[in-house]
Amino acid sequence: MTTVVNDMDRPVRTTFLPFAAPSIGEEEIAEVLDTLRSGWLTTGPKVKRFEEEFAARVGAKYAVAVNSCTAALHLALEAVGVGEGDEVLTTPMTFAATGEVIRYLGATPVLVDIDPVTMNIDPQRLTEVAKKAWRAKAVIPVHIGGLMCDMDPIMATAREHGLAVIEDAAHTFPSTYKGRMVGTISNITCFSFYSTKTITTGEGGMATTDDEALADRMRMMSLHGISKNAWTRYTAAGSWKYDILFPGFKYNMPDIAAALGLAQLRKADAFHARRAEIATRYTQAFGQLPDCLETPPGAAAGDLHSWHLYVLRLHAERLNIGRDEFIEELKKANIGVSVHFIPLHVHPYYQETYGYSPNDFPNAYQSYLRSISLPIYPKMTDDDVESVIAAVTTICRTHVK
C-alpha cells in the first residue's frame, strides 16, 4: 500500500483495499495441480478426504461436500422432509440463499426479527412465532458474521414444536457455542466455501450431521437421486449400472474444489487467528469513537467468533451524513466495504409475494440502515488495518454533529 498523510496526520491509501480476498498460497496451487495431474477432476478421492477431514475437524459423524452452501441448505431441508405447504422459520437478516431454498421446496419462509445487539434471530420471538406457526417443519438460524446464535433456547423451542433445526453456518467456520463446535449442535449444519468465506474452494459447501439417514439422503439427492456411490461408476471398482431412485439435483463438489479445500482446512486456525487479531484491533480503535459508532459484540468468554464479518453500526442520528454517504467517503479513501444484509423482507420478491413492509421486522431494518461491513481477512497487512481505522476515524471526526 502506498500512503500519504492527510491534514489530520493520518495515512491515506493510494491503492484500493478490496472488501474481501482469498488467501491462496503455494500449498493450494500444489494440491490443485496434483488433482489436475491425477486425471480425476470431478467428485472422487479428494472430496472423500475433504469430507473426512472436515467432519473430524468439526467433530461431526458425517460431512457431505456439495458445490455451494445454497445446495447444502436445499438438500438439508429436503432431507428433513420440508415440502409443499410447509413453513420454515428463519431470520430476515440473511442472504438470498436462506430464503430461496425454502421456496425451492414450495414452502413458506416465516420471518422472525433479530436481537438488535447480536443481529441473530431473537430466540424469545422465535418461541412466540413457533406457537402460532402450526405448519412449521423446520427453523434455520443464521450465525451472522460468525457470531453463534443462542442455540440452547432455539433447540428447546424446536424440540417443543417438533421442528428440525438446520443451521446456516455459511459464516461460521470456526465458531463455538458454549464450548461446542459449530456443526455438532443441530440436525444439519451447512457451511459455505464461497471465495470470500473463512476457507474457500472457489465455490462450495458442506453439510454436517450425526444422523446417517440424513447424510445418505443428502448424498444421494446431491447426485441426481441415483443409487449409492454412483460417482464410482467410471472407476475399476465401479459398475455402469445405476438406478434413479428420486428426481435429485446436481450439487456434487468436484475434486478440483476439494483440493483447494484440503489445503485451506490445514490453514484454518492460522486464518482464524489473524481475523481475530484484526477484530481486536478494530474494536480497540473504534471503541474510541462511541459518539459515532457501535462495535460488534464478540463471542462469550471461552467461545470462538469466526470473524467472517466485522459489522460496524453507525449512530446515524449523531452524524451529519447517512450510512450511504459514509460508504461513499470510505470508497474515496480507497477502502472497499459491504453491507450485511439488505434484509429479505425489504426485497421486491418478498414484498410482492408476502406483502411485507420494512418495519414489519424493525430490528432487522434499523440494523441494516446503520450497518457497514469493513474488510477483515488474513491477507490484510497491519498497514491495511491501520488505513481502515484512519479512514473511519477521519470520517467520524469530520461528520459528528
Ligand X SMILES: Cc1ncc(COP(=O)(O)O)c(C=O)c1O
Positions touching ligand X (CB under 6 A) are 68-70, 94-95, 97-98, 142, 168, 170-171, 192, 194, 205
Nearer to ligand X, 113 or 329 (CB): 113
Q: How far apart are CA 330 and CA 398, in angstroms?
A: 13
Nearer to ligand X, 143 or 272 (CB): 143
Q: Least distance from C-beta 245 to ligand X, angstroms?
A: 25
Q: How far apart are CA 72 and CA 219, in angstroms?
A: 10
Q: How far apart are CA 176 and CA 148, in angstroms?
A: 7
> Which of 61, 197, 241, 267 is the catalytic position?
197
Structural contact between residues 208 and 191, judged by C-beta atoms closer than 8 angstroms? yes
Nearest to 306 by CA among 165, 184, 192: 192
Residue 272, Cβ density class (10 Å: 0-12 exposed, 13-18 middle, ≥19 buried): buried
* Phi, psi (deg, nearest 5) at residue 186: -115, -170
Q: Least distance from C-beta 354 to ligand X, angstroms?
A: 20
Indicate the length of the chain as a whole number: 401
Nearer to ligand X, 70 or 393 (CB): 70
DSSP character string of 57-117:
HHT-SEEEEES-HHHHHHHHHHHTT--TT-EEEE-SSS-HHHHHHHHHTT-EEEE-PBPTT
Nearer to ligand X, 68 or 387 (CB): 68
Helix (H, G, I), strand (E, B) or coil at 158: helix
Structure-block grid coordinates of residue 116: 438488535
For residue 66, what are the β-bridge partners? 205, 252
Q: Least distance from C-beta 89 to ligand X, angstroms?
A: 15
What CA–CA distances, in Å, run from 106 to 69, 85, 129, 250? 19, 6, 20, 19
Tell me whether residue 178 is one of the annotated catalytic residues: no
Handedness of CA 90, 93, 97, 103 (dihedral sign): positive
Taking each helix axis as running N to C, give the angle between helix 212-221 and helix 69-79, from 0 to 180 degrees, rounded to the nearest 10: 120
Structure-block grid coordinates of residue 306: 469466526
Q: How far apart are CA 18 and CA 334, in angstroms?
A: 8
Q: How far apart are CA 387 and CA 17, in angstroms?
A: 9
CA Rg, the chain, in Å?
A: 22
State the catalytic residues.
197
